[in-house]
Chain A
């Protein structure tokens, strides 16, 4: 099946003062399939927002093309843009609700633009408020709502015209952890029940690990990795992805943590990655038992990522160096192993 969103050599340069300029998005080729939830991750300034805003033509490329549902954004007139945007909803970190309109007025606004008659509009608004679970707030104004309720209004408003695509720009970053989970569950439900393709910009691991099917990693305007969440995180190819994975998953002790561990553990430090492979995990236990090496768990943990086990354990290994070398080689045959610190010289 043809992808619903497809970037080809998409580039966006912002002119700066005196000939300087910023290449916010740099020759991106990316396909997003219908019905998927894709996470766009990367550090601030990597170009995530610009990339996503190219999907609903809030930004047009300075080179290359973006096709959304078969339409090329750069070739659309005012009318074509309006049609495109009625098929792409968007929600925001700061919600961006109209404070001069009630909750119902906010949700009904895109329907007014689309020219829905009053009665149908009221029905649709009631249906949407019910779907996101805030029917009782219809007559209130946004400043009277909590953050989670505001984002629900934002979501209802974005869904008003039944878009095929929903864009979420850091939609949960301003919410507390519990509300974040509620909103993520709602996004997942939208994806399952309505079949909406969702693209989320985020820097929160929680968002990627709990709802995304695919992840695209951005660095300096480029998409450096794209694939199923588990594959990209379990086996990052690019140094930038590794750094990002490390900073969000803490899969190995930081230098500061290592220094603190050193106060108690002087031996060789080895980090062993745990993946979705029951055989390898059994082999790991076997190898630890088979060699005459004393092992102490000093750091790490195993969690779920895209519904599969994922994590790393750091051991302090003490004993004969030859035996330790043999153990490390044995482990490396089954999974990724890295010696992160040598024995301390006393």
Chain B
């Protein structure tokens, strides 16, 4: 029989660890990814900050990092994680590989959403004398806000997925819980409960994202 009295505190701790990893990754990678996406968008030929060398470097970097399976990425940048975080063990240390991977992921998604902004609107802002950086934060990003929110919601789900893998290599969290107390002990109900919790987190995030995007687009 499953001893829920003993497992519940551990499950609660795992839940908190997952929330911790996802929250900080979304915050750090959300901002860095936005900057990366804007840089990818704006440095392309004919755009606001046209800069071919910068564009090619960023573009190739994103294309190299993104296809690496995350579980391999975590171990591959272990030395760098050690350098930056001081350790490769624990929930805090996996924030580094998670944020790094998510930044590249978000960067590409942001770039794709910015492309959908009508260039005519940017030209109008230029004709009013707005500086290039002002156009980026006061026209480009607000005009793409609806799709950007949906993009970030999509990323949120991917980050929850990443956190489960991060747990496997020492980050803790729900993924680790499901493996250690469910799979490895042949305890199917524990796995099921964990899966249900993850589904609920993802559903809530998706509903919230859809609602915010609708608000941003209702114009």
Which chain A residues have a beta carbon within 8 Å of chain B's beta carbons?
A: 56, 58, 78, 81-86, 88-90, 92, 94, 96-101, 109-110, 112-114, 141-144, 157, 161, 167
Contact = CB atoms under 8 A, between A and B. Distances in A.
A275 B164 CA distance: 84
Contacts of B127: 56, 58, 85, 88-90, 167
B120 interface: yes
7 contacts: A85-B129, A96-B124, A109-B130, A110-B129, A113-B129, A143-B219, A157-B124
A165 B197 CA distance: 62
B121 A96 contact: yes
B179 interface: no
Given A98-B143, A100-B145, A86 B129 contact: yes
Given A96-B118, A142-B219, A143-B219, 17 more contacts: A58-B123, A58-B126, A81-B129, A84-B129, A89-B127, A90-B127, A96-B121, A96-B124, A97-B121, A98-B143, A99-B219, A100-B143, A100-B216, A109-B125, A157-B124, A157-B128, A167-B127
Interface string B170-187: 000000000000000000
Contact of A141 (B125, B134, B145, B219): B219
A110 B126 CA distance: 10
A101 B219 CA distance: 9
A88 B124 CA distance: 12
Interface in B100-145: 118, 120-121, 123-131, 134, 138-139, 142-143, 145
A92 B128 contact: no
B interface secondary structure, majority: helix
Nearest to A101: B142
B131 A92 contact: no
Contacts of B125: 98, 109
A338 B178 CA distance: 93
Interface in B46-102: none
A337 to B, nearest CB: 47
Contacts of B142: 98, 100-101
A90 B219 contact: no
A96 B120 contact: yes
Contacts of A109: 125, 128, 130, 138
B219 A83 contact: no
A81 B127 CA distance: 10
Contacts of B118: 94, 96
A331 B142 CA distance: 66
A85 B219 contact: no
Nearest to B139: A98
Contact of B130 (A113, A141, A157): A113
A256 to B, nearest CB: 37
A110 B139 contact: no
Contacts of A58: 123, 126-127
B145 A113 contact: no
A113 B128 contact: yes
A110 B130 CA distance: 8
B119 to A, nearest CB: 9
A78 B219 contact: no
Contacts of B138: 109, 112
